[in-house]
């Protein structure tokens, strides 16, 4: 299994979801996301959401594979 996998390519207008190993860096996650599922915006996928906020929930442990986390990305 890859260290970062696109699991939901479209969530609303400007978000997507990936499943990644817990120690994956933002740079690593964004490189995979922009290569495998380009956002179509000039900046591409630009942020890995690592904390809950007004518009998005923070990371969630993967239910299928121990040691992996689902991250939401925004463009």
Which two structure tokens, joined as six digits, stand for 8?
A: 């939901």
Residue 56 has pLDDT above 80, yes or no: no
Q: What percent of the chain has pLDDT over 90?
A: 84
pTM of the model: 0.91
Angstrom distance (rounded) from CA 16 to CA 75: 9
Q: Per residue in 14-36, pLDDT tens?
A: 999 999 999 999 999 999 999 99
Residue 55 has pLDDT above 80, yes or no: no
Contacts of 57 (CB under 8 A, 6+ apart): 49, 72
């Amino acid at each position: 299994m890859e260290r970062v996998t696109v699991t939901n390519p479209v969530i609303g207008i400007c978000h997507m979801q990936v499943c990644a190993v817990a120690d994956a860096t933002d740079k690593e996650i964004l490189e995979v996301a922009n290569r495998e599922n380009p956002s179509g915006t000039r900046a591409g996928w630009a942020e890995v959401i690592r904390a809950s906020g007004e518009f998005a929930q923070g990371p969630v442990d993967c239910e299928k594979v121990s040691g992996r986390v689902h991250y939401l990305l925004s463009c």
